[in-house]
Structure 1
């Protein structure tokens, strides 16, 4: 697997940051809705909305997009993405937004290790250092033993496992297929599975909440598009540490929307996380600029 040029790494990192911002915005909106509506209903809107938007965008190009060489990989990728969304949304009534995001953001460790084990990406010292430092920052935010780790905390942990699986499968498919194939198969899977529960849980939607359901669909679609593209053009080990920015974004959303202001340790941990991500990006781009012909097996 060839290493990405510097500009491609920068685009991949930028897309990952945008995806995490959109995902946390979606999660913050969903937290308010799940307090008033059943979780399966909110989850169904997230995926059904994405399906509708993708169908509108593709229109007459739907046939070629649906013809895939990786039906099994698409199935498991769709299932893991659905699992990540479901586990996280189910945790929101019981775990704070910033805390749930911090636990779920253990996924960069899993992605980096999985990329080395299953995709042949080298687990170099700089990537290891970036992941470990960012993990330390995450632990500073959630402070084990301070009441965050309850049985409900297993839900965002399952989200981390599901998200890592989805990311690795996305990287495996990579640029071999259109990004829209992954978008439509994931949306179709989520719409069908979550839709099966609707007859048993559906509640009428208040008029003032319609725009929030629509916002979830748009944010989820945009985030998924960005993250698929990021993992398709850049090695997973490079962009994975930037997922820790989700803790920073979620903390800000919690403060603005729900009055959950971060304390001193949350701010310190967030700064550590941002610094670790910037370190990985800086070292990777410097290495690629200095050795543009390097192959993926020799990358740091």
Structure 2
């Protein structure tokens, strides 16, 4: 099997750069639309593009484990709904910091559920990672707001989805797995719209039901759909070209890209404490991943 770590890193960096850029504009969508509308529209666009490609290429989608795919899709979609919901009130870098606690959660779940034995290095990495999260999400200890920690819950679900990907969906193609997640997010959107219309809509990103998109929202949904597909393709290709434990470390570049684009586009300057926290999260996650290479006990 080919092993091209430089090319793999290139694909991962393209993916994380794309995500760091396109997710900045969820705040534009949030100004006039809703989380639920956004996911319904994006899912419809993605399916339109994929079905068009399938028709032109003559290829077919095949699922080998429906139960595993459905379960994994629901878990991962929940993680991403929490992440995108947080983008309605947090900068991308902060929301991404919560989501990227996933390696820490994977380790915790592996210990709690599967009885994995870990040593002091990875225990220290968990503590450092959580310290980094606190520094990013609440850089001012005198004004801690509980809502800023919501993305950490997304990270927990993302970790469960990562475990499920290997355990339940190891035989599925990357496109099938990705479409499962996007479809579940679209269904989340429909459920949210129905629930809000029943209970009574509000006027915010999270509390509005269906909102007919104007031209600007529609355009950014197109960008999101195309960018998301590009990122998934690049991530998949990256993991095909090199060992997963090495490639996954490069995914932490999304924290840097998110902070950079947030500063360039919106003037979201992170404090030195938050920047240090991002570094601690990336370092802790990388240490956990690399420490676990080829070993069940550290």
TM range (shorter): 0.7 to 0.9
TM-score under structure 2 length normalisation: 0.74
SS in 1 for 2:220: helix
Q: Structure 1 residue 224 and structure 2 residue 232: aligned?
A: yes
**CA spacing shift, 1:245–1:214, aligned 2, 3 Å:** same
Asked if the contact 1:54/1:183 (under 8 Å) is kept, the reply is no
**Hey, what does 1:56 align to over in structure 2?**
52
**CA spacing shift, 1:193–1:209, aligned 2, 3 Å:** closer
Q: 1:205 and 1:192 mapped to 2: Cα distance?
A: 18
- From 175, 178, 184, the counterpart of 2:179: 184
**CA spacing shift, 1:11–1:110, aligned 2, 3 Å:** farther
Deviations 1:268-288 (A, max 9, x none): 33445555677778x67xx99
Q: 2:93 and 2:70 mapped to 1: Cα distance?
A: 30
Equivalent residues in 2 for 1:1-300, closer than 5 Å: 7=3, 15-59=11-55, 60-62=58-60, 65-66=61-62, 68-114=63-109, 133-143=128-138, 146=141, 149-173=144-168, 175-198=170-193, 200=197, 201-227=209-235, 242-273=250-281, 296-297=294-295
Provide the aligned C-alpha RMSD in A.
3.9
**CA spacing shift, 1:97–1:179, aligned 2, 3 Å:** closer
SS in 1 for 2:141: coil
Q: 1:50 and 1:206 mapped to 2: Cα distance?
A: 19
Asked if the contact 1:114/1:168 (under 8 Å) is kept, the reply is no
Asked if the contact 1:141/1:270 (under 8 Å) is kept, the reply is yes
SS in 2 for 1:61: coil
SS in 1 for 2:3: helix
Asked if the contact 1:115/1:237 (under 8 Å) is kept, the reply is no
TM-score under structure 1 length normalisation: 0.74
Deviations 1:55-93 (A, max 9, x none): 22323322xx23x22111111111112112211222223
Q: Which segment drifts farther, 156-165 or 181-190?
A: 181-190
Q: 2:189 and 2:158 mapped to 1: Cα distance?
A: 18
Q: 1:162 and 1:253 mapped to 2: Cα distance?
A: 26
**CA spacing shift, 1:138–1:242, aligned 2, 3 Å:** farther
Asked if the contact 1:171/1:235 (under 8 Å) is kept, the reply is no
Q: Size of the alignment, in residue pairs?
A: 283
Specify every segment of 5 or more residues in structure 2 that has no aligned partner in the other structure, as ranges. 198-208
**CA spacing shift, 1:57–1:267, aligned 2, 3 Å:** same
